[in-house]
């Protein structure tokens, strides 16, 4: 085995031997040696030390050896730019070689060596090669211009290469044309406004001619370029379409898809009543279907594109439902995509077939696929009214299988069917209720609870059912808790007499014992609504719900238009605009479909516009009316013992809360609630500001948060925005740091301002001055829905890797989610690193103070400070007062602090009576921390 | 465009790595480099996230830290193309397949050993067929003229310019000056017939995907014209007169849903005249692919009967009927009857061939060597089941079938293949032509 032999040689450190062989006189030996070098390069060995010896082999007439040396050069030139210069002469010489293969090889390789000094030498040979008599050299040189542009754009412009490249579009050789088009397209992308690819009818004509003659790859370059052109009128549009349609029969799928892209785009300009328009529509379907017999990876690309095409022009594929039927052996990614398209194509005409298929799929093995199939049945019911009944009965059959995840999915979709067709299928509720116990997924539990609440008046034991969920209220996910709260309030409004206890229980669970602000606030809203105006409560809680839409998961129309312009590309596979996954200037330019010439209406766009903004869930669990009302940003009430004044103040607050005019409906409720309040159960969790004078009214409820962030403990700055939603694809992070019970915490609010759900959060820190690192993973357990916020407290430790940062307290953070990775940096108050055992012995303090040289002392002023209990305040943040004396009406406080990494900082604080400006001197063996420590003193004292 | 191309073995070790674009090499972020997952370079990112991923592959395109990975797998070998741009995804996959074809044409099976033994050649190929990530001429016929495993012997100037003009030329797939003593060509019409049938015998979907594979051993630069019983062509001719003939052949003509051609075929000519004309590559290649859905001859019908006898027994009876001319013989017939996972024992009785229960495949495999048309055969089996607590019902995968028949289930017939070579002195009559039809099962399933 040659490979292992070569590899073992290098492994055993015989670089010397290689060196000798490289310098051998024998050609064969030389070649073998270079091969060995390349082999070790491939497996990641560093063979850069052999650079001069390998370059020496370059001067050879053996093409194979030359190629190997060039390969080596491309890899190592960048790390050894000075040495690379040694190769320049040979390159320049090779560019003049009589053999066109060598000329091309030289110019190709030279462009790959990204060393500035070399690029200078590249210009002249490149200029010659662009005009070479041999097309093979010209086509290579054309690509080389793009390479050079990537290294030094200015140089390419200055040297006039762009004009030469444009001239090559008229070259007699189709392959040269294709490569020139590719190079120009790439360069044009980084200059969005330059008129570089000056496409006019003459150039278009040249491109179309070359299209018939060049390689399959060249055809792709040309078609992709054509797609950027906007014809002047419908006639030009039609004539281009006519010349592009033959490409639909090409064996290469990429050629077909690129042709489809051109046709889809130019079709926009054709009048709909034109015969040709209809002909074209008919011509598009067969090649798209043929793509589905390609290899699975290509099928996947094709399906993702068909998904877009079907949304834009449903008429193209409307008769082709059968080809999307899933085959047993399809890879899962193909199956899921096919299913998606099947639902989009489902109509009254084919619904029977579709349903029969979906039923089959629901018994397959792959869990994701089965779930999607069950969901699809629900979507069919919503989409095709005539089929609703059959869908429901199919779903009931599936529920009978008792396969856990099938049952749960079925219940989720049945909830939507109830929404779509009210008062039609409620007879199945009994069957659903039987499966209550087997539901273990939040979405299914929430759906079931919604059903029970919504139809409480028809379910005899609705109260029992809901009560059974209450037991484990705190273990439920937020989604379920919110739904349960709402459902019970609905139940109460429908059957007030029997359910007071229940509603009271859920209200107190939601408001008192929950850390979740959304839940608490919804609880308070209901509570207040019920106590002030039950009629209004009824109007709000039992309001008529808006109708749900037929189509879900539609791509937003402007995005869809853009994606249509990107058919065949990665953007069409990801269903995201290029700007979402491409860095830098490339692809930032948004593409648009041209306006149609004749009748303007583009199918569906207007009707779908409103729909697509809504999240796919028909009844968004978090985002409904009340949820939105409550979507205020409150800081969490995780710590702080209740202040002493609470008990009485609370009582007042509670009375006030409930005292408002309650009338007929629920007198008894008031009593019960008041009793509850009297017991002190309700108030316990209600924070301090409740006791403030003049409290009452809804506003106060919402003020709670502001009071909460400031307990007596360590100082923690208010949250500030660290990561702006704009820069992070909709993820906004604001946060602060705090030290709570000896644990450093990073407290963040993650807000999803994007349109899609965010999951899979993770966090990492870069090395920092004090070795801060997360003590555990970022706990974001539930997916973050659009417009939702979540509070997370991440405990930190200081055992991470250390690197001095500037400023010292700077922290670079990376946060990852399912969408991307985002970076930000923030500064933490150094006071959170002050440890609890930072109180120094008096004697040691004195000794240390003297011991630290005076150069290490720094003095600062703290202005406008008015405080009485300075020591107490400082101690709250682990700044300990060692001694205090008064000299000439001036208070002198001697303070000590210990940082997590063991650094002691000693301080002398001077306070002149009546003078709001304090003076502080800090002494520390590591004076670079002084500035930061001072800032913390200031922050602690002033807050 | 493609930023880099990597070949891995099944362990995720890199066998070949070729980086075309600077943005790929290492994925460090400008400015701050944050620890952990970012410092890994592209090569490792793919290994960790795809090859070593525990989960089944959920997409052939993966985006890791703003870098997209396209992969295909051939036996144990992973080929991955990497990019940071919005590339033409279909093109990248087509290129990866092409890359596999080229490698196979050079050194046979794509295996770890072959790749290691040919790594210099692979690098040379990669340098030639991808330039700055743009695919270039990748026709093996052309490549083999100047990328050889033996090293190039001193070429004359004419030879050199012949190579370059072929690589860049309009007929990049064929070199000039080919000479054969005997001009001969073989046409294989290879069809795979796909069926999905309901237990009641209703055809849920059926289509034939066919390929016309040509082996040409012709001298010079021959112009070829291929004709088949395409309904559109026949109908057109019918209008022109010869009504008798048209009526006769009209019955035999077939409706082709769609077809695609090798790049040698002049597509614009097909589009306007529906005639298939081309200069063929030398040797074997695929001339066209097509698909039909109407009037398909389904060579076999499978009639399943599954009965559950209590909770521990299953009775299965399957009848197959052959549905073609009695004079023809089907071969390599195999019927695969899935069995539940908790099968403890199987008794099989079949009239013809051999049947065996294969526990590892969870299926009864029934093989029949040959079967003539218009016959039927039957198998019955008793399946003993272990009692289980598993609530989940057995998914009942479909019964699948394999076979080979000596005719084209679509009904396609080759009408002619004419060869013209004006410069050399041989005519269409001198060419020896062979045509063969083979119909194979594609995915031929009957639900039970």
Q: Which of A827, A851, A820, A824 is nearest to A923 (CA)?
A: A851
Band (pLDDT 50/70/90 cuts) for residue A599 is: very low
- Give the least confident one: A334-348, A447-461, A927-941, B13-27: B13-27
Among A27, A254, A398, most B C-beta atoms within 10 A, so best to mutate, is A254
**What sections of A313-403 are H helices per DSSP?**
332-345, 351-361, 367-383, 388-400
A contacts of B132 (beta carbons < 8 Å): 111-112, 143-144, 146-147
Residues of B in contact with A403 (CB under 8 A): 391-393
- Mean pLDDT on A323-339: 91
Q: Mean of the per-residue pLDDT values for chain B?
A: 86
Position B191 scores a pLDDT of: 96
Q: For position B25, what pLDDT does the model report?
A: 54
B68 inside 8 A of chain A by CB: yes
B98 pLDDT band, cuts 50/70/90, is very high
What pLDDT was estimated at residue A371? 93
Residues 721-780 of A with CB under 8 A from B: 764-767
Residues of B in contact with A586 (CB under 8 A): 85-86
pLDDT digits over A530-539, tens only?
Answer: 888 888 888 8
| Four-point Cα dihedral A425, A431, A436, A442, nearest 10 | -40
Residue B426 CA to residue A149 CA, distance in Å, equals 52
CB contact under 8 A, A3 and B85: no
Mutation for testing the A interface, residue in B115, B124, B139, B168 having most A CBs under 10 Å = B168
Q: Which residue of A has its CA nearest to B164?
A: A136
- Alpha carbons A506 and A82: distance in angstroms, whole number: 76
Of A135, A766, A812, the CB nearest to B168: A135
Query: How many residues comprise chain A?
Result: 943
Distance of CA A441 to the CA centre of its chain: 24
Asked which of A626-630, A782-786, B164-168, B178-182 is least confident by mean pLDDT, the reply is: A626-630
Please indicate whether, in this complex, the C-beta atoms of A325 and B168 are within 8 angstroms of each other: no
Q: Which of A311-325, A669-683, B217-231 has the lowest mean pLDDT?
A: A669-683
pLDDT confidence band for B391 (50 / 70 / 90): low
Q: Is the minimum CB–CB distance between A805 and chain B shorter than 8 Å?
A: no
Q: Is the pLDDT of residue B34 over 80?
A: no
Given a contact cutoff of 8 angstroms between Cβ atoms, the answer to whether A178 and A210 are in contact is yes
Across the interface, which of B36, B97, B260 has its CB nearest the CB of A764?
B36
The most confident of A724-738, A907-921, B288-302, B383-397, by mean pLDDT: B288-302
> What is the chain A residue with the closest CA to B16?
A42
| CB contact B152 to A (< 8 Å) | yes
Give the start-end residues of each E strand in A835-942: 857-862, 880-887, 890-898, 904-912, 918-924
What number is the average pLDDT over the span A404-432?
Answer: 88
pTM for the structure as a whole: 0.70
B266:A293 CB<8 A: no
At A94-106, the pLDDT tens digits run 899 888 888 999 9
Q: How much is the mean pLDDT over chain A?
A: 81
Q: What is the pLDDT of residue B113?
A: 93
Q: Which of residues 153-182 of B touch A (CB under 8 A)?
A: 155, 157, 160-161, 163-165, 167-170, 172
- A388 near A381, Cβ under 8 Å? yes
CB contacts, 8 Å: B444 with chain A: none
Among chain A residues, the shortest Cα distance to B98 is held by: A252
- Strand, helix or coil for residue A698: helix
Q: Are A220 and B133 in contact (CB under 8 A)?
A: no
Partner B contacted by A212 (CB < 8 A): yes
The vertex-A24 CA angle with A18 and A28, nearest 5°, equals 90
Contact between residue A132 and residue A143 where contact means Cβ atoms under 8 Å apart: no
CA distance A57 to A91: 13
Give A779-832 as a 3 state SS string. Answer: CCCCCECCCCEEEEEEEEECCCCECCCCCCCEEEEEEECCCCEEEEEEECCHHH
C-alpha B271: how far from chain center? 25
Q: Which residue has the higher pLDDT, A640 or A304?
A: A304
Interval A573-592 mean pLDDT: 79
Name, in order, each residue with C-beta under 8 angstroms of A12's C-beta and a sequence gap of 6 or more: none
Whether the Cβ atoms of residue B317 and residue B379 lie closer than 8 Å to each other: yes
In angstroms, the separation between the Cα of residue A215 and the nearest Cα of chain B is 7
pLDDT > 60? residue A66: yes
At A12 the pLDDT is: 52
Q: Poorest-confidence range of A520-524, B63-67, B408-412?
A: B63-67
pLDDT tens per residue, range B176-231: 788 999 999 999 999 999 998 988 888 988 999 999 999 999 999 999 999 999 98
Q: Are A426 and A418 in contact (CB under 8 A)?
A: yes
Q: Which residues of B, range 271-310, sit inside 8 Å of A by Cβ? A: 271, 286, 288-289, 291
CB contact under 8 A, A43 and B160: no
Residue B209: CB partners within 8 Å, gap ≥ 6? Answer: A293, B191, B192, B194, B289, B290, B291, B442
Confidence of residue B279 (pLDDT cuts 50, 70, 90): very high
Q: Residue B168 and residue A301: Cβ atoms within 8 Å?
A: no
Those residues whose C-beta lies under 8 Å from the C-beta of residue B102, and which sit 6 or more positions away, are: B125, B129, B138, B140, B143
Q: Where are the strands (E) in B293-328, listed by range?
A: 300-309, 313-322
What confidence tens digit (pLDDT) does each residue in A526-571 have? 999 888 888 888 888 888 888 777 776 788 888 999 999 999 999 9
Binding residues of B: 354, 356, 358, 367, 369
Contact A295, B96 (CB under 8 A): no
DSSP B49: I
Residue A76 has a pLDDT of: 81
State in Å, rounded, how far the first CA of chain B is from the last one: 48
According to the model, what pLDDT value does residue A693 have? 42
| pLDDT of amino acid A760 | 84
Where does the pLDDT of residue B265 fall: very low under 50, low under 70, confident under 90, or very high at 90 and above? very high
Q: What is the pLDDT of residue A713?
A: 60
Strands B184-197 and B432-446, how do they pair?
parallel
Which of A185, A242, A246 is the best residue to mutate to test the B interface, defined by the most B CB atoms within 10 Å of its own CB? A246
Cβ neighbors of A665 (< 8 A, separation 6 or more) are A496, A534, A535
CB atoms B259 and A766 under 8 Å? no
Q: Which of B21, B94, B196 lies at the smallest CB-CB distance from A325?
A: B196
CB atoms within 10 A of CB A887: 8
Give percent above pLDDT 70 in chain A.
85
* Chain A, nearest residue to B159 by Cα: A99
Least confident of B98-107, B110-119, B140-149: B140-149
The answer to whether A570 contacts B87, with C-beta atoms less than 8 Å apart, is: yes
Contact by Cβ (8 Å): A83, A56: no
Is the pLDDT at A657 greater than 70, yes or no?
no
Residue B381 has pLDDT above 90, yes or no: yes
Per-residue pLDDT, A245: 94
Of A214, A253, A353, nearest to B90 by CB-CB distance is A253
Give the number of beta-carbon pairs within 8 Å between A and B.
303
For residue B93, which residues of chain A lie inside 8 Å, CB to CB? 253-254, 295, 297-298, 301
Nearest to A215 among B116, B137, B291 (CB): B137
Task: Identify all chain A residues contacting B88, using CB atoms and an 8 Å cutoff.
Answer: 220, 224, 254, 257-258, 568-569
Among the listed residues A83, A58, A77, the one whose alpha carbon sits nearest the alpha carbon of residue A68: A58
pLDDT of A626: 35
Q: How far apart are alpha carbons B327 and B341 in whole angstroms?
A: 41
Q: What are the tens digits of pLDDT across the range A17-45?
A: 888 888 888 888 888 888 888 887 777 67
A331 touches chain B (CB under 8 A): yes
- Closest Cβ–Cβ partner in A254, A323, A365 for B91: A254
pLDDT above 80: residue B436? yes
pLDDT of residue A303: 97
Provide the residue count of chain B.
Answer: 448
Q: Is A135 in Cβ contact with B289 (below 8 Å)?
A: no
B130 confidence band (pLDDT: 50, 70, 90): very high
pLDDT by residue (tens digit) across A693-750? 443 433 433 333 333 333 446 778 888 888 888 788 888 888 998 888 788 888 888 8
The distance of A135 to chain B (nearest Cα, Å) reads 7
Cβ-based neighbour number of residue A320 at 10 Å: 17
Interchain proximity A297–B93, CB inside 8 Å:
yes
Cβ-Cβ contacts under 8 Å, A812 against chain B: 32, 34
The residue with greater pLDDT, A674 or A783, is A783
Report CB contact under 8 Å: A325, B443: no
- In this prediction, residue A822 has a pLDDT band, given cuts at 50, 70 and 90, of confident
Predicted confidence (pLDDT) at residue A295 exceeds the cutoff of 90: yes
Nearest Cα residue in chain B from A147: B132
pLDDT score at B143: 87
Q: For residue range A767-820, what is the model confidence (pLDDT) as tens digits?
A: 888 888 888 888 887 788 888 888 888 888 888 888 888 888 888 888 888 888
* Angle at CA of residue A535, ends A534 and A538, nearest 5°: 85
pLDDT at residue A838, as a whole number = 85
Say whether residue A556 is in contact with chain B using an 8 A CB cutoff. Answer: no
The DSSP bridge partners found for residue A720 are A735
Contact A298 B29 (CB under 8 A): no
Q: In what order do the strands lie in the sheet containing B376-385?
A: B300-309, B313-322, B376-385, B343-350
């Amino acid at each position: 085995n040659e490979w292992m032999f070569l590899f073992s040689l290098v492994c055993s450190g015989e670089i010397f031997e290689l060196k000798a062989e490289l310098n051998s006189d024998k050609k064969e030996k030389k070649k073998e040696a270079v091969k060995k070098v390349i082999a070790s390069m491939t497996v990641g060995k560093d063979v850069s030390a052999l650079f001069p010896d390998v370059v020496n082999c370059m001067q050879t007439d053996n093409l194979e050896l030359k190629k190997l040396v060039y390969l080596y050069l491309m890899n190592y030139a960048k790390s050894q730019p000075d040495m690379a210069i040694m190769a320049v002469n040979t390159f320049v010489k090779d560019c003049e070689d009589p053999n066109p293969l060598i000329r091309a090889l030289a110019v190709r390789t030279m462009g790959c060596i990204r060393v500035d000094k070399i690029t200078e030498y590249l210009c002249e040979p490149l200029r010659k090669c662009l005009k070479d008599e041999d097309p093979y050299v010209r086509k290579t040189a054309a690509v080389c211009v793009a390479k050079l542009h990537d290294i030094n754009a200015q140089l390419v412009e200055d040297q006039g290469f762009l004009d030469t490249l444009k001239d090559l579009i008229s070259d007699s050789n189709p392959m040269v044309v294709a490569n020139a088009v590719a190079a120009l397209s790439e360069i044009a992308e980084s200059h969005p406004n330059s008129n570089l690819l000056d496409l006019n009818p003459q150039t278009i004509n040249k491109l179309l001619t070359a299209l018939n003659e060049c390689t399959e790859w060249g055809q792709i370059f040309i078609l992709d370029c054509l797609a950027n052109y906007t014809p002047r009128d419908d006639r030009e549009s039609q004539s281009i379409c006519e010349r592009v349609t033959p490409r639909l029969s090409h064996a290469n799928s990429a050629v077909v898809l690129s042709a489809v892209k051109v046709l889809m785009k130019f079709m926009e300009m054709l009048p709909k009543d034109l015969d040709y328009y209809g002909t074209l529509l008919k011509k598009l379907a067969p090649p798209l279907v043929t793509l589905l017999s390609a290899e699975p990876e290509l099928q996947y690309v094709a399906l993702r594109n068909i998904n877009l095409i079907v949304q834009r022009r449903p008429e193209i594929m409307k008769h082709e439902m059968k080809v999307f039927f899933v085959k047993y052996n399809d890879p899962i990614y193909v199956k899921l995509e096919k299913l998606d398209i099947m639902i989009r194509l489902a109509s009254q005409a084919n619904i029977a077939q579709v349903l029969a298929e979906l039923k089959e799929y629901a018994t397959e093995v792959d869990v994701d696929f089965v779930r999607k199939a069950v969901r699809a049945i629900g979507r069919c019911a919503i989409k095709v009214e005539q089929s609703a009944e059959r869908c429901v009965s199919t779903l009931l059959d599936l529920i009978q299988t008792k396969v856990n995840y099938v049952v749960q999915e079925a219940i989720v979709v049945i909830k939507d069917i109830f929404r779509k067709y009210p008062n039609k299928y409620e007879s199945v509720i009994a069957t659903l209720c039987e499966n209550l116990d087997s539901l273990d997924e939040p979405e299914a539990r929430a759906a079931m609870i919604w059903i029970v609440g919504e139809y409480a008046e028809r379910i005899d034991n609705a109260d029992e059912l809901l009560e059974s969920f209450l037991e484990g209220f705190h273990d439920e996910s937020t989604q379920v808790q919110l739904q349960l709260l709402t459902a019970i309030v609905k139940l109460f409004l429908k059957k007030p007499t029997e359910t007071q206890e229940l509603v009271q229980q859920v209200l107190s669970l939601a408001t008192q014992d929950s850390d979740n602000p959304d839940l608490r606030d919804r609880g308070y809203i209901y509570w207040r609504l019920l106590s002030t105006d039950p009629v209004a409560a009824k109007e709000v809680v039992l309001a008529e719900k808006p109708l749900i839409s037929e189509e879900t998961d539609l791509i937003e129309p402007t995005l869809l238009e853009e994606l249509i312009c990107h058919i065949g590309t990665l953007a069409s596979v990801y269903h995201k605009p290029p700007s979402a996954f491409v860095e830098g200037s490339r692809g930032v330019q948004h593409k648009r479909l041209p306006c149609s010439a004749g009748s303007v209406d583009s199918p569906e766009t207007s009707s779908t516009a409103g729909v697509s903004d809504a999240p796919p869930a028909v009844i968004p669990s978090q985002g409904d009316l009340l949820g939105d009302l409550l979507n205020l940003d409150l800081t969490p009430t995780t710590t702080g013992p209740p202040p002493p004044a609470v008990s009485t103040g609370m009582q007042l607050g509670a009375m006030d809360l409930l005292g408002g005019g309650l009338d007929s409906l629920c007198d008894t409720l008031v009593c019960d609630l008041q009793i509850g309040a009297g017991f002190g159960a309700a108030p316990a969790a209600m924070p301090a500001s409740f006791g403030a004078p003049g409290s009452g009214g809804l506003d106060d409820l919402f003020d709670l948060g502001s009071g909460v962030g400031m307990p007596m403990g360590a100082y923690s700055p208010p949250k500030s925005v660290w990561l702006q939603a704009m820069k992070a694809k909709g993820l906004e992070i604001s946060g602060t740091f705090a030290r709570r019970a000896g644990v450093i915490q990073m407290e963040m609010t993650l807000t999803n301002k994007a349109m899609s759900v965010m999951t899979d959060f993770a966090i990492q820190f870069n090395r920092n001055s004090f070795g801060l690192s997360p003590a555990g993973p970022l706990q974001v357990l539930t997916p973050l829905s659009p417009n939702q916020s979540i509070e997370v407290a991440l405990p930190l430790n200081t055992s991470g890797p250390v690197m001095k940062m500037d400023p010292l307290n700077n922290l670079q953070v990376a946060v990852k989610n399912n969408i991307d990775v985002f970076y930000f940096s923030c500064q933490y108050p150094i006071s959170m690193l002050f440890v609890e055992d930072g109180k120094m012995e008096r004697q040691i303090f004195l000794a240390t103070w003297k011991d630290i040289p005076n150069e290490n002392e720094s003095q600062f002023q703290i202005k406008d400070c008015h405080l009485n209990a300075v020591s107490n305040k400082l101690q709250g943040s682990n700044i300990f007062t060692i001694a205090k004396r008064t000299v000439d009406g001036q208070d002198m406080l001697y303070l000590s602090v210990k940082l997590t990494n063991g650094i002691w900082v000693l301080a002398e604080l001077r306070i002149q009576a009546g003078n709001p400006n304090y003076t502080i001197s800090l002494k520390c063996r590591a004076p670079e921390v002084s500035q930061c420590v001072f800032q913390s003193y200031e922050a602690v004292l002033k807050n | 465009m493609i930023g880099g191309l990597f070949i891995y073995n099944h362990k995720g070790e890199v066998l070949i790595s070729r980086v075309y674009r600077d943005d790929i090499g290492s994925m460090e972020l400008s400015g701050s480099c944050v620890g952990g997952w970012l410092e890994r370079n592209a090569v490792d990112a793919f290994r960790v996230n795809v090859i070593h991923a525990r989960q089944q592959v959920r997409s052939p395109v993966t985006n890791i830290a703003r870098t997209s990975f396209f992969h295909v797998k051939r036996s144990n070998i992973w080929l991955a193309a990497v990019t940071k741009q919005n590339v033409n995804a279909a093109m990248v996959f087509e290129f990866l397949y092409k890359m596999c074809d080229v490698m196979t044409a050079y050194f046979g099976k794509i295996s770890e050993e072959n790749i290691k033994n040919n790594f210099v050649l692979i690098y040379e190929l990669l340098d030639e067929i991808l330039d700055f990530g743009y695919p270039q001429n990748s026709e093996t016929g052309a490549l083999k003229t100047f990328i050889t495993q033996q090293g190039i012997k001193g070429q004359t100037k004419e030879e050199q310019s012949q190579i370059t003009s072929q690589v860049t030329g309009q007929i990049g797939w064929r070199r000039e000056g080919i000479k054969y003593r005997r001009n001969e060509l073989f046409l294989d019409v290879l069809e795979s017939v796909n069926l999905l049938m309901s237990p009641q015998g209703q055809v849920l979907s059926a289509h034939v995907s066919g390929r016309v594979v040509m082996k040409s051993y012709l001298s010079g630069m021959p112009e070829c014209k291929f004709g088949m019983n395409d309904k559109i062509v026949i109908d057109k001719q019918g209008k022109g007169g010869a009504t008798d003939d048209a009526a006769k052949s009209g019955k035999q003509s077939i409706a082709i849903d769609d077809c695609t051609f090798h790049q040698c075929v002049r597509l614009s000519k097909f589009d306007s005249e529906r005639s298939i004309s081309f200069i063929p590559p030398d040797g074997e290649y695929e001339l066209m692919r097509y698909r039909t859905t109407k009037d398909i001859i389904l060579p076999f019908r499978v009639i399943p009967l599954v009965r559950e006898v209590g909770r521990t027994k299953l009775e299965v009876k399957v009848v197959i009927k052959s549905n073609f001319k009695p004079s023809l013989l089907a071969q390599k017939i195999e019927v695969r009857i899935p069995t539940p996972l908790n099968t403890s024992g199987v008794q099989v009785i079949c009239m013809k061939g051999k049947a065996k229960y294969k526990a590892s495949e969870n299926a009864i495999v029934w093989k029949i060597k040959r079967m003539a048309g218009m016959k039927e055969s039957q198998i019955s089996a008793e399946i003993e089941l272990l009692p289980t607590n598993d609530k989940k019902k057995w998914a009942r995968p479909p019964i699948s079938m394999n076979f080979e028949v000596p005719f084209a289930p679509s009904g396609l017939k080759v009408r002619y293949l004419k060869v013209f070579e004006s410069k050399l002195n041989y005519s269409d009559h001198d060419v020896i032509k062979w045509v063969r039809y083979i119909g194979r099962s594609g995915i031929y399933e009957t639900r039970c």
